[in-house]
Amino acid sequence: MKSIGVLMTCHMDSYLEQELEKRFNLLRFWTATEKSTFLATHKNSIRAVVGNAFGGADAELIESLPKLEIVASFSVGLDKIDLAKCKEKGIRVTNTPDVLTDDVADLSIGLMLAVLRKLCESDRYVRSDKWKKGDYTLTTKFTGKTVGIIGLGRIGMAVAKRAEAFSCPIHYYSRTEKPETKYKYYPSVVELAANCDILVVACSLTEETRHIIDREVIDALGRKGVLINVGRGRHVDEPELVSALVECRLGGAGLDVFEHEPEVPEELFGLDNVVLLPHVGTGTVETRQAMADLVIGNLEAHFQKKPLLTPVV
């Protein structure tokens, strides 16, 4: 398979790069000084694209690769892939579900605890020697708070299962009600937000869910409400979120994703009721390796004409 050209859209993981290089002719798109020349040079050998949450396969890229057969995403989210175009052209698409579910759910709970119990702030308090001058302020209890989840897919369910162990009542919104769960369903995000203490975004990003967290939802969540976003930055109307936090109309936020990563609104840096992470939802050694193995597994299966492991299209 060493003659098969695989285009990697951006630097994502060293282990994945190594493994791809062993098996294929790996082409690193991010090193190209002139992207269109690069594509023109290699277009006839590129049969696969490996993308991720930052760089996927949009219509333009797909159109410029006439021999493209498969897009294997190093992510579970598919918002950076033009799925309709792939379907139209018979291009296969795979992603990395399940192997990253635990990590993202763990981080959601970690963010909730870090925001409510002000873990990062109190760690800074100790390290700057302030404890000698007085105790830290009281924070807010996590156990028993109502958790509202947007999207009850693999990740949403994993968050729910964990939060339940902290005796958190679970409410949710999703496109359709899931009667097999015992959680309380709300037919709109605003109603969900009005009826929970902690709102977690765990759905996929599509045209319908873009800015699903808007001013109305933020107002409904309110002064004591906390927003946790482990989905995509574009799930949230970021300027509205920032002003709500700065003006104390929202209780707090734990954010792993932002609209224009790696840029993060600087107005958030001075707030003690937010925790800001650099899109590390799946950022563990164990999970990145499992994701990489799945990308490789899917590519090998495709080129060996075997069934794909985790096909989307």
Binding site for other proteins (CB under 8 A): 102-103, 105-107, 109-111, 113-114, 117, 119-120, 122-127, 131-132, 135-136, 138-144, 161-162, 164-167, 261-264, 269, 275-280, 283-288
> What is the closest distance, in whole angstroms, from the C-beta atom of residue 100 to other proteins in the complex?
10
Kindly tell me which of 32 and 120 has the beta carbon lying closer to other proteins.
120
- Measured CA to CA, the distance from residue 36 to residue 69 in angstroms comes to 20
- Measured CA to CA, the distance from residue 292 to residue 254 in angstroms comes to 27
Residue keyed to tokens 């308090």: 125
**CA neighbours within 13 Å on the CB side: how many for 132?**
3
Kindly tell me which of 61 and 159 has the beta carbon lying closer to other proteins.
159
Which one from 171, 232, 288, 302 is the annotated catalytic residue?
232
Kindly tell me which of 243 and 284 has the beta carbon lying closer to other proteins.
284
Edge-to-edge order in the sheet of strand 5-8: 25-28, 5-8, 46-51, 70-73, 92-94
Does 216 participate in catalysis according to the annotation? no
Cβ 102 vs Cβ 82: under 8 Å: no
Kindly tell me which of 138 and 179 has the beta carbon lying closer to other proteins.
138
Cα distances (angstroms) measured from residue 175 to each of 153, 208, 217, 233: 11, 10, 17, 20
> What is the closest distance, in whole angstroms, from the C-beta atom of residue 25 to other proteins in the complex?
25
Does 23 participate in catalysis according to the annotation? no
Edge-to-edge order in the sheet of strand 170-173: 184-185, 170-173, 147-150, 198-201, 226-229, 252-255, 274-276
Kindly tell me which of 43 and 154 has the beta carbon lying closer to other proteins.
154
Which one from 11, 211, 279, 300 is the annotated catalytic residue?
279
> What is the closest distance, in whole angstroms, from the C-beta atom of residue 41 to other proteins in the complex?
28
> What is the closest distance, in whole angstroms, from the C-beta atom of residue 39 to other proteins in the complex?
25
**In 10 A of CB 230, how many CB atoms?**
27
Vertex 258: Cα angle to 218 and 200 (nearest 5): 45
> What is the closest distance, in whole angstroms, from the C-beta atom of residue 186 to other proteins in the complex?
24
Does 92 participate in catalysis according to the annotation? no
Active site residues: 232, 261, 279
